[in-house]
Amino acid sequence: MTQPEPTTPHPPPPPPSNVGWAVAAMMFFWPLAFFAFSDALKVFPRWCSGDLDGARAASSRARMLGIIALCLGGLLTGWCLITAFQT
């Protein structure tokens, strides 16, 4: 009877880099885009070095900054439109 070959554990897939949210930050509120891109570009190097928690944190921070930039950009655009068309 043969023993089964030991299987090597597969590393978990990398978290999404959320570069799309960083692009949204660039379009809607550019000051946050620098931080969003910085975090989005840290995801894969951290994942490759084995820092899974750091990669997940960078991914979620890039997403959060993109969402904040989208909200701020929408609010500022709405405020500008309201003040521009007031009579």
Q: What is the pLDDT of residues 14-73, one digit of tens each?
A: 999 999 999 999 999 999 999 999 999 999 999 999 999 999 999 999 999 999 999 999
pLDDT at 12: 86
The more confident residue out of 72 and 2 is 72
Per-residue CA distances from 86 to 28, 40, 46, 77, 81 (Å): 23, 40, 50, 14, 9
C-alpha closest to that of 39 among 24, 54, 29, 26:
54
pTM for the model stands at: 0.82
**Torsion of Cα atoms, 47 then 42 then 20 then 75, to 10°:** 130
Is 6's pLDDT higher than 90? no
Q: Is the pLDDT of residue 1 over 70?
A: no
